[in-house]
Amino acid sequence: MTEIVKSADWVLTKERGSGVPEGIHGAECMACGANSPLFDDDALPVAVWSIQHVQEHPEHTLFLARTESHWRVVPRPDEDSPPPPPDSGGVFGPVFVGLMCLLTALSGFLPAALN
């Protein structure tokens, strides 16, 4: 378990397990708000999307690139007990990750909609 932050009763860790990517990559055009698709563990397709977007819109040259990961807060283990096994999430693990990616991407539209 890689610990990020410890408190008295809780530990914040990077989520690891079946279906959980190390990083989720995406980009948003700062001129028009277009969003790239999200890609797990590979930023190259996002770079290709950005270049293709500029080829279609030569004045759109600034992008907000994001890399996201998942964290989990778990009870702090006793020093004498073994760490808990990672939660694989079963079938719902990858579905949950995909839904969180979609919600994260959609949340980028909120500031643009308020302007």
Residue 68: per-residue pLDDT: 94
Query: How do 3-6 and 10-14 pair as beta strands?
Result: antiparallel
pLDDT digits (tens, 9 = 90+) for 46-84: 999 999 999 999 999 999 999 999 998 888 877 665 665
Q: Say yes or no to pLDDT of 1 above 80.
A: no
Q: Which residue has the higher pLDDT, 12 or 101?
A: 12
pTM reported for the whole predicted model? 0.59
| CB of 38 closer than 8 Å to CB of 74 | no
Residue 77: per-residue pLDDT: 78
Residue 10: per-residue pLDDT: 85
Residue 74: per-residue pLDDT: 86
Burial of 27 per CB tally in 10 Å (0-12, 13-18, 19+): buried
Residue 3: per-residue pLDDT: 62
